[in-house]
Amino acid sequence: MDCQDCLNRDSKLVEAMVAADKADTDLRCYFLTHRRGAGVSDLDEYNALYELARHSAEQRHRAYLASVEHWRQHG
């Protein structure tokens, strides 16, 4: 049986995975709708989406490593 900390870490990992997937999807949609060109406001939107995707990926990475490290402590 998993300890409560394991369950919390698993929940955080799943949330981080979903958030990262949504951010990646939003960025892909931007690429599909702005293939030919982009104005200043479009580039601002791109930068915001890019930063969100990067931040979400980092959160997913940290959540995964925290989960793995916790499991290692269980032996």
pTM of the model: 0.85
Cβ atoms 16, 56 nearer than 8 A: yes
pLDDT of residue 47: 96
3-class DSSP assignment, residue 35 = coil
pLDDT 10s digits, 16-54 = 999 999 999 999 999 999 988 888 899 999 999 999 999
How far is 24 from 2, CA to CA, in rounded Å? Answer: 31
- What domain range is 14 assigned to? 4-74
Query: How many domains, the chain?
Result: 1
Judge whether residue 75 has pLDDT over 80: no
Orientation angle between helical segments 40-74 and 4-33, nearest 10 degrees: 160
